[in-house]
Copies of this chain bind each other. A is one copy, B any other.
């Protein structure tokens, strides 16, 4: 990416271009290395330099910084040949949404680019182009915490279009923060999937030697090509080393660590399987590839929220949410409890048509409001059990269910029924 105006003019004045070896003196420090392109997520005053160590550093440039050209980049030259379509190979669609994985490292310069097209991706991970024909499309370029219903809808329709036009699998490159919300949304929106929809992210940016981007992406492509699964899954590192990649069901996966590469866990079920040394193992039940056309049901009610109750929560906090929303997912304590004082407000909200679904802030285990009288009061007040759904999955499901029907019996029935693997069987 091109640098913002101010830095761009400083670079022009010094006759420096991306790929050149430069020296930057900032304060007492001297940085020497290759000038990288502007990173989409960097601040406007930052320039990126690839040091000899292989790491890219971002350095703030101001009027006092000195910038020198050391050597013009003779090696950097952009190949421009087209990727040829090969009839013998399957086609995989790669949809970019932003986040760390959507950027890529140019192998020759180490530069971080947002991967905008098929050529970029082919350059970034040469193995991909050998495995399949790539149809790449950058749908948006946002941090995943900024994803909204509209993005999920656009994504779902694009996935269906790609599959209905010959893609054997679809890879969605996604920021890790909300990858579980998006995978849930796609799980509910898409039916009769004729192949895997593989969401993949990376916890370390591609400009770091420890990046998990490439192996996650290659495994996703392999899975998209070889697997007979027709579901939405998330592929991420199974442990901190590169030994294997876990395959998580889209409605069960949760980011359980802020920074580890193996941050993702399937909650309340085992991962569907793994990709290890190029071998795909699927050890749990799953839905097979459908025949015919992928269908999209992307209507969602946006007025849905998550409430995480805590000791001493004010009644008016709940009342405010009940007034503004058509659905509330409570991440209650233990088996699905809230401070007793809320029960009256919850009853009133349900009476006035708000759908309230109970999940647990424990995350693991199943909600059971029949055990204690507080829970029974919530059931009597009309709270629907979220069973063993994650709060985040219940939130997505509630938006989706309220987007499909206004019939209160049907709503309750849909919430309590396992639709796409989001609810497990009761053991007792």
Contacts and interface: CB of A to CB of B under 8 A. Distances in A.
Contacts of A148: 311-312, 339
A391 to B, nearest CB: 8
A181 B311 contact: yes
Contacts of A367: 258
A373 interface: yes
A32 interface: no
Nearest to A142: B340
In order of increasing CB-CB distance, the 9 nearest A-B pairs are A258-B365, A177-B334, A177-B333, A308-B308, A257-B364, A257-B365, A145-B337, A148-B312, A306-B310
A297 interface: no
Given A310-B181, A310-B305, A311-B181, A373 B41 contact: yes
13 contacts: A42-B373, A145-B333, A145-B334, A145-B340, A148-B311, A148-B312, A149-B312, A181-B310, A259-B366, A306-B310, A314-B324, A317-B320, A320-B320
A305 B316 contact: no
A422 to B, nearest CB: 16
Interface string A306-338: 111111111011001100100000011111111
Interface in A36-68: 41-43
Given A145-B339, A310-B305, A372-B143, A362 B258 contact: yes
A255 interface: yes
Interface of A: 41-43, 143-149, 176-178, 181, 255-260, 263, 302, 305-314, 316-317, 320-321, 324, 331-341, 360, 362-368, 372-374, 376, 391-392, 395
Nearest to A336: B258
A400 B309 CA distance: 19
A381 to B, nearest CB: 15
B311 A178 contact: yes
A337 B263 contact: no
B311 A147 contact: yes
B310 A360 contact: no
A146 B257 CA distance: 30
B258 A368 contact: yes
A252 to B, nearest CB: 15
A256 B373 contact: no
Nearest to A335: B258
B364 A256 contact: yes
A363 B391 CA distance: 14
A256 B363 contact: yes
A147 B320 CA distance: 22
B373 A334 contact: no
Contacts of A144: 333
A324 B318 CA distance: 13
